[in-house]
Structure 1
Amino acid sequence: MKYVILIHSNPDPWGHPTSRFTPEGKALPPEEHEAADKAFEDLLGEISESGELVHAEALAAPATSTLYGWSPQGHLVTDGPYAEAKEQLAGFFVIDTATPERAEEIAAQFAQPGGTIELRPGMQ
């Protein structure tokens, strides 16, 4: 079953990994970032080798987005970001797992300082 792991964050300045650019992440000592980076690289290696990683992409800053809407008069085009929320979509991973529990296990490992992780199943 396919799932998308959505990474919501508000780094300042916008950068990746986002946890290095959030207030919570900036407060951590370098050793904690290094340990988190190693754990994340290990996770990516594991899900790549198992075939569970389908695709991943870090996203550019929300201000670079273009929004397309609809009205009876025609398409509406405006500059982003779409949401006025504090956190924005920073990146995503598409995974394909045998069970929902495995998807939850993987997604939990994406938790990071100053960010929220959303796990959402694909439509079946």
Structure 2
Amino acid sequence: MKYVILIHSNPQPWGHPTIDFTEVGRAIPAAERAAMDVDFERMLTEISASGELVEAQALGDPQDAKLYRVGLDGRVATDGPYAEAKEHLAGFFLIDVASHERAVELAEQFAGPGDTVELRPTM
């Protein structure tokens, strides 16, 4: 079963890892942050070794994004970012797991300070 874990965040300035660039992330004491980094790297190593991690990419600044739509006037391209959204898609992890429960278990571990994580099955 394949799922995508979408990381939504609003780092200022835009950067990765997002925890370094969010107000909540910067407020975490250095020792606690180091422990979180170790735990996250351990989890990434585990799911890489098991074959559960298929792909992962951090995304560039939403200011560099374009949105394409087709309307009555034809195709329209709009520059980003979009004023109605405070958080933007910051990156994704494509996983291939044995069950929905395992996908939920992993997605919970991706939720970081200042981020929102969305778990969605692929089709």
Q: TM tier, shorter chain?
A: over 0.9
AA matched with 1:120: R
Q: TM-score under structure 1 normalisation?
A: 0.94
Corresponding residue number in structure 1 for 2:104? 104
AA matched with 1:119: L
Corresponding residue number in structure 2 for 1:52? 52
What runs of 5+ residues in structure 2 fail to find an aligned partner? none
Q: TM-score under structure 2 normalisation?
A: 0.95
Bigger Cα displacement from structure 2, 75-84 vs 14-23 = 75-84
User: How many residues are treated as equivalent by the alignment?
Assistant: 123
Q: Is the 8 A contact 1:67 1:82 kept in 2?
A: no
Confirm whether residue 32 of structure 1 aligns to residue 32 of structure 2: yes
Corresponding residue number in structure 1 for 2:67? 67
Aligned-residue offset at 1:72: 2.8
1:85 and 1:32 map into 2 onto residues whose CA distance is 30
Corresponding residue number in structure 2 for 1:79? 79
The alpha-carbon distance between structure 1 residues 51 and 115, as it changes in their structure 2 partners (threshold 3 A), is same
Corresponding residue number in structure 1 for 2:92? 92
What runs of 5+ residues in structure 1 fail to find an aligned partner? none
Aligned-residue offset at 1:73: 2.6
Aligned-residue offset at 1:78: 1.4
Post-superposition Cα deviations, 1:26-66, rounded to whole Å, max 9, x if no partner, equal 11111122111111111110000000001000001111101
* CA RMSD, Structure 1 to Structure 2 (Å): 1.1
Between the aligned residues of both structures, percent identity stands at 63
Aligned-residue offset at 1:117: 0.7
2:72 and 2:17 map into 1 onto residues whose CA distance is 41
